[in-house]
Structure 1
Amino acid sequence: MRREPAGHPPEINLVDPGLYAHGDPFVQWRWLRANEPMYWHPPTELPGFWALTRYEDIRDAYRDAETFSSAQGILLRPADHGADPGGGRTLALTDAPRHKQLRGLVDSWFAVRSVRALEAEMKDVARRVVDEALERGSCDFVADIAARVPLYVICKMMGVPQADWERLYTLTSQAFGAGDPAARRFAHLDILGYFEELQEEKAEDPGDDLVSVLATATVDGEPLGAEDVILNCNNLLVGGTENTRIAAAGGMLALLEHPEQLQRLYEEPDLMPSAVEEILRWTSTATHIMRTAVRPVEIHGRKVEPGDRVTFWLPSANRDETVFEDPDCFDIVRQPNRHLSLGFGEHFCLGSMLAKVELRLLYQELVSRSIWVELDGPTKLLDSIVVNGPELMPVRLMPGSR
C-alpha cells in the first residue's frame, strides 16, 4: 500500500456515534490503514482498545481464535456496565469447545439444504410485505419492508406462533430503534421475558423448531440451562434480524444513489447473486467486532497483552485498497468479492446463507414485478458505533414504473 503522508492526520475518534450518522468514518479508516494499521485508541467513556483496520490483519485475527477470545464480549461497552451477560453462554460469545457444541445444536437449520427448503415460504413472506407496502404507496423502507422479512422468517424457524409475530416486530423495532435508552432496555427485557415463557412451553411440548431444539438440548450430558436457552434465543433473534434489516435498507439506498446500477439489475436480473454480495460489502452493517487477547501477541510491532481489547473495523476491511479494486465504487458485478461482512473463521455468521437468500428474494420481488422505488424524504442514518446504515428511509413504491 502506498503510504499516505503522516503529517496532519485526521482526528481519530472511532467511538463517536455521530461520526456514523453525520460524518465520514472512511477518512479516518483510510488514514489508519495507511499509517497506523494497529492503532491504540485511548479511553473515552469506553475503555481503551486496539483498532485493526486492514483486511488481512482482521482476517488473520478472526482465524486465530486461540489468541483472540469471544467469551468476554464481542462489542465495546462501558466498564461500569460490567461483563456481558451472554459471555461464555451464547453462540456468539463462546470459544472452543463450547462454541462448537452450541453451534452443532442449530447448525443444520441454517445449512444450504434447510434454507432452500424454506425458500418458497420466504418468497411468500417477501411478496406479502411488498404487497402491503404497495397498498400504502409511501412507507419507511427500514421498518415496513426491510425489518419485516427477516423477522417473520426467523420467527417461523424459532417456532414463534404467527399470532405473536407483530408483538415481536414491535418489540424489536423499539429495541433496535432510536429514542429513549430506557425504552430500548425495557424492550430488550420484554423480548427476554417472551422467550422465557416460550422455552418453558417448548420444553414441555417440543416441536420442530429452533426453540424446541435449545429447550431440550444437552451439552456434555447436561441440559442447557433455562437462562442459557433464553439468551441464545435472543441471540438468534437479533442475529437473524438486525443486520439483515439494515443491509436490506442500506442496499436499497445504495441502489437508489447509483441509479445506473439499479437500472442494470432490472435489465439483467441474473446479476442478483453478485449484487447481493456487493450490497453486503458496501453496507458492512456490523461496524466493529471485538475480541479479547488471552495471550501476548505482536502485530505491526505493537505488543498486545492478555486482557487487551482488539477491535475489527469491518467497513474499513471491506474498502481495503490492497484487496478490492476501486473499493469506493459500488459495482454489482464485482468479482472477486471476498468481503468480511459476515465474519471469518469459526465465528463465520451462522445465518449467512439465510441472510443472502432473504436479500435476494426481497430485491427479486421488486425487480420481477417492475416495482420502482424512490426516496420520499430525507434518510436518517443510525447514531451508533455497533451497526451502521439507515434508521429511517421514507420511500414511495410504484408498480410497473420502471
Structure 2
Amino acid sequence: MSAIVDTATPPRINLVDPGLYRAGDPFAQWRWLRANDPVHRHEATEYPSFWALTRYDDIKAVFRDAETFSSAGGILLRPAGHGADPGGGQTLALTDPPRHRQLRGLVDEWFAVRAVRGIEPRMREIAGKVVELAIRRGQVDFVEDIAARIPLYMICGMMGVPEPDWERLFTLSRQAFGGDDAMTRRFAHLDIMGYFEGLATAKRKNPGEDLVSVLVTGEIDGKPLTQGEILLNCDNLFVGGAENTRIAAAGGMLAFLEHPDEWRRVAADRSLMPSAVEEVLRWTSTPTHILRTATRPVELRGRRIEAGDPVTLWLPSANRDEEVFADPDRFDVGRQPNRHLSLGFGEHFCVGSVLARVEIRFLYEELLDRNIGVEFDGDPVLLDSIVVNGPERLPVKLTPA
C-alpha cells in the first residue's frame, strides 16, 4: 500500500497541547507528519524538544530495539524542570533488559492465557453485576459507571485487595485520574500509594495467592525487591490494569455509538467479537505517546538522533498508517489483518494484553446477551491529556431493546 502524499499547507504542529485531544484534530497533524516529516523534530514548549515518530514501521522498529531506545529514564514526556521519572529503572514499564525480563518473570504467569481462563467466571460475574446495576439506573456515564469498574475490580482482586476496599480504591482512582484539580489528583495518588504500602506490609507478614504477595516475596538474583520497587510496581500494575482498559472499553462504545451499523454487525454475528475487540484497540489507541531515550547516535529516515535525545512514539498515528492499514480511518469490526501497536511490541508488549481483551469482550457481550440498547444521553467529553486519549465522560441511556 502506498502512502497518501499530503502536499497541503502544513498545519501548526503542537503535539503537546492537551486541548488538541479534547477539542482539536490530532489526526490531521499526524497525517501530515506521516506524509511529509515522519521523523519530526518537535520544538520545545513547556516540554523539552523531542523527536516525534508517526509511521508504523519506524515505531515498531524502536519498540524492537530496546538496546538503542531505552525505557529506563521514563516512558512519558515530562515538563522541563520536573527531572527524571522517579520510577526509572524500578518498574516493569521503566526498565530495560535484563532487569525488565526479571521483573516481568515475577508476574508473567498471572497474566498468561491459562491464568486468565481460570478467572473468566469471576470476570463474567463482575461484568454482569456492573452492567445489571447500570441497567437499573438507566441513565449513566458509561466511563465511570461501567467501563471503569470492571477492570478496576478485577485488578483489585488479583492484587489481593479485600473486596470491601474496592470501592475506596475506585473513588481514589477517579480522583487521581479524572479530577480537574491538580492538588486533588496528587493527594489521591498519594493515598493510593499509601494504601498499597499498608497492603504490602500485611502481605509480607501473611502472604497469599495474589500479585502483591508475589512482589513482597519475590527475589531477583537472590535479592528481594526494595520497598520502593514494590510500591512503584504495585502502582504500575494497578494503573495499567485499570485505566487503559477503562478508556479503551469506553472509547470502543463511543465508536460503536458513532458507527451503529458495526454494533449491529457484531450483534448479528458473534464470531466477529474477537476482531471487533482488536479494532476497538486499534481505533482507540489509548496510549497517545510512548517515550524512549536514545542510548547512542542513530539515523532514522535521514535524520540523525543523538545519544540522550527523547524519541516519542505516537501510537494513534501508527495505527492509522496508510502503508499498513487499508482504509485506516474506517472503523471496521471485521478488519483482517489488524496488527495494531496499541499494546506495544517487543520487550514491552503489554503484560496484561490477554486480560484487557477478555474484559472488553465480556463487557460488550453482557450488553448484547441482555439485548440492551445503548444511546447517547448527552455530548461525550474527551480527555484533556497528551498521555491517554479517549472519553472522559460518555453519558448514555440503557434500555431493553
1:238 Cα shift? 0.5
| Alpha-carbon distance between aligned partners in 1 of 2:152 and 2:45, rounded to the nearest angstrom | 35
1:3 Cα shift? 5.8
Task: Give the corresponding residue for 2:66.
Answer: 65
SS of alignment partner, residue 41 of structure 2: strand
SS of alignment partner, residue 298 of structure 1: strand
Cα pair 1:250 1:283 within 8 Å, conserved: yes
| Alpha-carbon distance between aligned partners in 1 of 2:5 and 2:379, rounded to the nearest angstrom | 35
Task: Give the corresponding residue for 1:352.
Answer: 353
| Alpha-carbon distance between aligned partners in 2 of 1:261 and 1:174, rounded to the nearest angstrom | 33
SS of alignment partner, residue 377 of structure 1: coil
* Code of the aligned partner of 2:138: G
* Code of the aligned partner of 2:308: G
Task: Give the corresponding residue for 2:22.
Answer: 21
* Code of the aligned partner of 1:21: R
Task: Give the corresponding residue for 2:201.
Answer: 200
Task: Give the corresponding residue for 1:224.
Answer: 225
Cα pair 2:3 2:323 within 8 Å, conserved: no
SS of alignment partner, residue 119 of structure 2: helix
1:194 Cα shift? 0.4
1:144 aligned onto 2:145 = yes
Task: Give the corresponding residue for 1:74.
Answer: 75
Cα deviation per residue 1:184-230 (whole Å; 9 max; x = unaligned)?
Answer: 11111111000000000001100000000001111111111111101
* Code of the aligned partner of 1:299: L
Cα deviation per residue 1:339-367 (whole Å; 9 max; x = unaligned)?
Answer: 00000001000000000000000000001
Task: Give the corresponding residue for 2:285.
Answer: 284
Q: Which runs of 5+ in 2 are unaligned?
A: none
Cα pair 1:290 1:312 within 8 Å, conserved: yes
1:6 Cα shift? 4.2
Task: Give the corresponding residue for 1:112.
Answer: 113
| Alpha-carbon distance between aligned partners in 2 of 1:116 and 1:2, rounded to the nearest angstrom | 40
| Alpha-carbon distance between aligned partners in 2 of 1:7 and 1:154, rounded to the nearest angstrom | 47
Q: Which runs of 5+ in 1 are unaligned?
A: none
- CA root-mean-square deviation: 0.8
1:135 Cα shift? 1.0
SS of alignment partner, residue 293 of structure 2: strand
Taking a change above 3 Å as real, the CA distance of residues 255 and 204 of structure 1, as seen in their structure-2 partners, is same
Task: Give the corresponding residue for 1:163.
Answer: 164
1:382 Cα shift? 0.1
Farther-moved stretch of structure 1 (347-356 vs 171-180): 171-180
Cα pair 1:269 1:367 within 8 Å, conserved: no
Cα deviation per residue 1:9-61 (whole Å; 9 max; x = unaligned)?
Answer: 11100000000000110100001000101000010000110000000000001
1:79 Cα shift? 2.4
TM-score normalised per structure 1: 0.98
Task: Give the corresponding residue for 1:392.
Answer: 393
1:295 aligned onto 2:296 = yes
1:2 Cα shift? 4.4
Task: Give the corresponding residue for 1:379.
Answer: 380
How many percent identity over aligned positions? 68
Cα pair 1:176 1:184 within 8 Å, conserved: yes
* Code of the aligned partner of 2:143: V
1:4 Cα shift? 2.7
* Code of the aligned partner of 2:268: E
1:130 aligned onto 2:131 = yes
| Alpha-carbon distance between aligned partners in 1 of 2:357 and 2:223, rounded to the nearest angstrom | 35
Task: Give the corresponding residue for 1:314.
Answer: 315
1:256 aligned onto 2:257 = yes
1:265 Cα shift? 1.2
| Alpha-carbon distance between aligned partners in 1 of 2:63 and 2:321, rounded to the nearest angstrom | 16
The runs of at least 4 aligned residues of structure 1 exceeding 2 Å deviation read 1-7
| Alpha-carbon distance between aligned partners in 2 of 1:2 and 1:156, rounded to the nearest angstrom | 46
Taking a change above 3 Å as real, the CA distance of residues 2 and 356 of structure 1, as seen in their structure-2 partners, is closer
| Alpha-carbon distance between aligned partners in 2 of 1:261 and 1:175, rounded to the nearest angstrom | 34
Task: Give the corresponding residue for 1:183.
Answer: 184
SS of alignment partner, residue 146 of structure 2: helix
Taking a change above 3 Å as real, the CA distance of residues 220 and 146 of structure 1, as seen in their structure-2 partners, is same
| Alpha-carbon distance between aligned partners in 1 of 2:21 and 2:80, rounded to the nearest angstrom | 22
Cα deviation per residue 1:76-128 (whole Å; 9 max; x = unaligned)?
Answer: 00121111111000010000111000000000000000000000000000000
| Alpha-carbon distance between aligned partners in 2 of 1:2 and 1:72, rounded to the nearest angstrom | 33
Aligned length: 400
Taking a change above 3 Å as real, the CA distance of residues 327 and 161 of structure 1, as seen in their structure-2 partners, is same
Cα pair 1:296 1:306 within 8 Å, conserved: yes
Taking a change above 3 Å as real, the CA distance of residues 294 and 372 of structure 1, as seen in their structure-2 partners, is same
SS of alignment partner, residue 183 of structure 1: helix
| Alpha-carbon distance between aligned partners in 1 of 2:102 and 2:303, rounded to the nearest angstrom | 34
Task: Give the corresponding residue for 1:95.
Answer: 96
Task: Give the corresponding residue for 1:341.
Answer: 342
Farther-moved stretch of structure 1 (177-186 vs 276-285): 177-186
| Alpha-carbon distance between aligned partners in 2 of 1:369 and 1:140, rounded to the nearest angstrom | 19
* Code of the aligned partner of 2:300: I
| Alpha-carbon distance between aligned partners in 2 of 1:190 and 1:243, rounded to the nearest angstrom | 20
* Code of the aligned partner of 1:309: P
| Alpha-carbon distance between aligned partners in 2 of 1:178 and 1:275, rounded to the nearest angstrom | 31
| Alpha-carbon distance between aligned partners in 2 of 1:166 and 1:248, rounded to the nearest angstrom | 20
Taking a change above 3 Å as real, the CA distance of residues 277 and 2 of structure 1, as seen in their structure-2 partners, is closer
SS of alignment partner, residue 80 of structure 1: coil
